[in-house]
Amino acid sequence: MFLASDRQQTKFFPGDLVQVRPLDEILATLDEKGTLENLPFMPEMRAFCGREFRVSRRAFKTCVDDAEMRGLDDTVFLEEVRCDGAAHGGCDKRCLVFWKEAWLQPANSGKQETGNQSATITEADLLKLAARDDQFFCQATEIINASKPLPWWEPKQYIQDLTHNRISIASWLKGLWIAFYNKVAHVTGRKSWKFVTGPGTYNGTRSTLNLQPGDLVRVKPLNEIRQTLDVEGKHQHLLFAPSMAEFCGSVMKVQRRVEKIILEGTPHQRKIKDTVLLEGGICDGVCHRLCPRQSLLFFRECWLERLNGATE
């Protein structure tokens, strides 16, 4: 395997135009598990090789299931480059893909010298590793192994939010305040910032809107959604996250249905019902220490109302 440390590393920042390296060069950076620093290069990423994209943010940190914060090195996100789940049982999460900087080069720089390119893994091996005996292997399953704990009191992360990811001062200050509030709330046994809970007595029938891509919907008012939640803020084990409240009352378009998801930090996939992704329904990370991951939010159909059956 060609070690990334053997190459002069280039740091990429939001707005930089980069090109994904050819597949053979990337394979030479991987170990026998198809990973670099324990982060998998997934089969779905092959389609982006040779193409140019803009860096959206540096992925120096990420939350895991909206809770634990983890730190990563030499990793970025590219603008709306998401996994389509094709090699992982049709997973519908549409995760934003993590890119090690060793897999990228400045756009229009031509082929770069990468030294000894003897690879220990093949393209076929990547496919075999992705799914086997109902066990899955992807960036989501390996996020814990590919990262390290990032405690809330580490000041460097907040400086990097400004200097690396160019977060606006307003969002930065709000994110710091919420992080401080949530830490105090945790210590004192209170609810986190704008955490939404319900009575846990919802007796409504299971929603059967059967929404399809392109359908127009309105997100119900918060007081109606609250009635569908239990005391943990969940509807049938799916959390209504604080960041979702800002969409209440908004008219949005269905992006796709969510039927299968891989559980983060595990090799398991689960089926999910009556749930959709909405265009523009993205977590901005402000409630989660300015996490740059921009995860798509899952909306239960009982939190939505169809607009006269309209489709656009």
Inter-axis angle of helices 156-163 and 169-188, nearest 10: 160
DSSP secondary structure, the chain, as one string: ---GGGS------TT-EEEEPPHHHHHTT--TTSEETTEE--GGGGGGTT-EEEEEEE-SEEEETTTEEEE-SSEEEEEEEE---TTTTT----PEEEEEGGGEEETT--SPP-S----S--HHHHHHHHEETTEE-STTTTTTTT-EE--TT-THHHHHHHHTT---HHHHHHHHHHHHHHHHHHHHT---TT-----S---PPPP-----TTEEEEEPPHHHHHTT--TTSEETTEE--GGGGGGTT-EEEEEEE--EEEPTTSS-EEE--SEEEETT-B--STTTTT----PBPPEEGGGEEEEEEEE-
CB within 8 Å of 180: residues ≥ 6 apart: none
β-strand partners of 306: 217
Residue 201 has pLDDT above 80, yes or no: no
Dist CA 99 CA 77 (whole Å): 6
How sure is the predictor about 9, in pLDDT bands with cuts at 50, 70 and 90? low
Q: Which residue has the higher pLDDT, 311 or 73?
A: 73
| pLDDT, tens only, 55-89 | 999 999 999 976 689 999 999 999 999 999 999 99
| pLDDT, tens only, 125-161 | 999 999 988 899 999 999 999 999 999 889 999 999 9
Residue 267 has pLDDT above 70, yes or no: yes
pLDDT exceeding 90 applies to what percent of the chain? Answer: 82
Average pLDDT (184-194) is: 91
Q: Could you write out the three-class secondary structure of 169-216? A: HHHHHHHHHHHHHHHHHHHHCCCCCCCCCCCCCCCCCCCCCCCCCCEE
Could you tell me if 7 and 13 are in contact, meaning their C-beta atoms sit under 8 angstroms apart?
Answer: no
pLDDT exceeding 70 applies to what percent of the chain? Answer: 91
CB within 8 Å of 282: residues ≥ 6 apart: 294, 295, 296, 297
Q: Which residue has the higher pLDDT, 174 or 200?
A: 174
Residue 7 has pLDDT above 50, yes or no: no
Average pLDDT (11-23) is: 97
CB neighbours of residue 186 within 10 Å: 12
Q: What is the pLDDT of residue 6?
A: 45
Q: What is the pLDDT of residue 203?
A: 67
Q: What is the pLDDT of residue 204?
A: 66
Q: Which residue has the higher pLDDT, 298 or 8?
A: 298
Token pair 């990370």: residue:
285
pTM over 0.85: yes
**Mean pLDDT in the chain?**
91
Could you tell me if 129 and 44 are in contact, meaning their C-beta atoms sit under 8 angstroms apart?
Answer: no
Could you tell me if 14 and 103 are in contact, meaning their C-beta atoms sit under 8 angstroms apart?
Answer: no
List the chain domain ranges. Answer: 4-149, 167-312
CB within 8 Å of 246: residues ≥ 6 apart: none
CB neighbours of residue 167 within 10 Å: 22
Could you tell me if 26 and 41 are in contact, meaning their C-beta atoms sit under 8 angstroms apart?
Answer: yes
How sure is the predictor about 109, in pLDDT bands with cuts at 50, 70 and 90? confident
